[in-house]
Amino acid sequence: MIEKELVSVLNKLSNQAIFFGPQGFMIVDTPAGLEEAQYGFGKDEAGNDLSGSNTGDWQASWLIIARDTELGDPYFIDASQAEYPVYTAFLGESGWEVELVATSLLGFIHCMNLLHSNGEQAEAQFVPDDNTIVDEAVLASLQKELSECAGNQSFWKMFFNCYQDWLLED
């Protein structure tokens, strides 16, 4: 998928900044933004390739499409796979530790739209407020729906565990 097409798909989101409780996603929305998002991961500021072929290396087929708003962790597609699965990763002691978020880019888009329509937040929240979803049945239903759209349960289970921990901290 060429960059212009990728940005076109990403622009199907209802909002480029998606927040749910304390967590957020900042989605790339322009070709220039897509190019800039790769700096420090797949490319350096001069445009030199930073990818490698070893386990733990950043892979040349990974294209960042979003960043976590709190920690800056990347969300990226693997352009070498047909459905463009979406992953997130953090830099560990032995390189990039990768976790599947959604089995396809379209599934990820659907998940982001679901989060936005349910959270209806303009920014990350530091503490729960009157609009915060606290009903366990509603949260369980949303987690199930997100897991089904993503084709993956583990990421969304972790996502909601973090959300529940945040609720308990208040």
Q: Where are the domains of the chain?
A: 3-169
pLDDT at 161: 96
Share of the chain above pLDDT 90, in %: 73
Average pLDDT for the chain? 92
pTM of structure:
0.93
Q: How far apart are the first and last CA of the chain?
A: 44
Q: Which residues pair with 9 in a beta bridge?
A: none
Q: Over the stretch 26-72, which tens digit does the pLDDT of each residue have?
A: 999 999 999 999 998 889 888 888 898 888 899 999 999 999 998 89
